[in-house]
Amino acid sequence: MAEKPVANALTLELEPVVDTELSRHLATEEAWYAHDYVPFEQGENFAFLGGTDWDASSVTLPRPVTDALEILLITKDNLAGYHRELVEHFI
């Protein structure tokens, strides 16, 4: 059976800040959709959907932007692991 975590000084100190910032975020969030930024007519299908596979020569963004996006994806993909580490060390 899982045990309820015991709050420590750090989590108690952060709780009101997190509550305030989460409430602010939820009150100001705006829905967005990918097709708002990439019109449907500019989109492409990959080969398994009848289109062509992605090729590095088709990139139109500057290298620093694509690097930043790749790092962002890697970071977001590992959020569950980061959460587990934070829980183990701080709670």
Query: What is the pLDDT, as a whole number, of residue 67?
Result: 94
Q: Collect all residues with Cβ–Cβ distance below 8 Å to 6 and sequence separation of at least 6.
A: 91
Distance of alpha carbon 62 from alpha carbon 69, whole angstroms: 11
Each residue's pLDDT tens digit, 10-65: 888 999 999 999 999 999 999 888 888 887 777 778 888 888 888 888 888 999 99
Query: What is the pLDDT, as a whole number, of residue 91?
Result: 66
Domain span at 71: 9-90
Distance of alpha carbon 5 from alpha carbon 90, whole angstroms: 10
Tokens encoding 21:
């910032």
Model confidence band, residue 2 (pLDDT cutoffs 50, 70, 90): low
Distance of alpha carbon 20 from alpha carbon 63, whole angstroms: 36
Distance of alpha carbon 30 from alpha carbon 84, whole angstroms: 29
Is there a domain that residue 41 lies in? yes
Is there a domain that residue 56 lies in? yes
Is there a domain that residue 71 lies in? yes
Query: What is the pLDDT, as a whole number, of residue 1?
Result: 52
- Total domain count, the chain: 1
